[in-house]
Amino acid sequence: VTFAEPFCPTLSDLLLSSAHELGDVKVHEGGTYVCIEGPLFSTKAESIVYRSWGMDIIGMTALPEAKLAREAELCYAMVACATDYDCWHESEESVTVEMVVGNLSANVANAQRILRSVAQKIPADRSANTCECPSALSTAIMTERSRIPAEAKEKYSLLIGKYLS
């Protein structure tokens, strides 16, 4: 399953345009996300390494979900709401749980507004999608179909049934 671009471009465009339409939400398009294990805060050394790699945002979710969504042929995109500067930033105060929770709470209302707007724009008919998400598994099954056990076909029919007939 291809994963060069982990987020659905169609859904990402909808999220971006909806955020811009709100007018009062600060939006950044693009960037490179590093997914770390958490919940935890980075050490200063880790933070400096991520910056040296060109990372724009550090998070603890999104990537595992994006991989699972792609393998389930679901459109998936991310609205990343910043809660703090990582500890590399010399002029900002150190990250605290209180800071993160406070900023997160402030971000929730904007995220909800964006999602309400996007939900009204997602086409009900997935065949209208211009993305490749609905067919991500089309070349993923390498086993000769006749060699796939009936139990496996049944077990995974929800995900790959359309490719087994």
pLDDT tens string 125-165:
877 778 999 999 999 999 999 999 999 999 999 999 999 97
Q: Is 24 a catalytic residue?
A: no
The answer to whether 131 touches 125, Cβ cutoff 8 Å, is no
Compute the distance between CA of residue 140 and CA of residue 152 in angstroms, rounded to an integer. 15
CATH classification code of 9-164: 3.40.50.1580
Q: Cβ of 29: how many Cβ atoms within 10 Å?
A: 10
Structure tokens at 83: 């809660």
Active-site annotation holder among 13, 24, 86, 125: 86
Q: How many CA atoms lie within 13 A of 72 on its CB side?
A: 10
Active-site annotation holder among 13, 24, 84, 125: 84
- Ordered by start, the domain boundaries in the chain are 9-164
pLDDT tens figures, 82-103: 887 776 767 767 777 888 888 8
Q: Against a cut of 0.75, is the pTM above it?
A: yes
Q: Is 125 a catalytic residue?
A: no
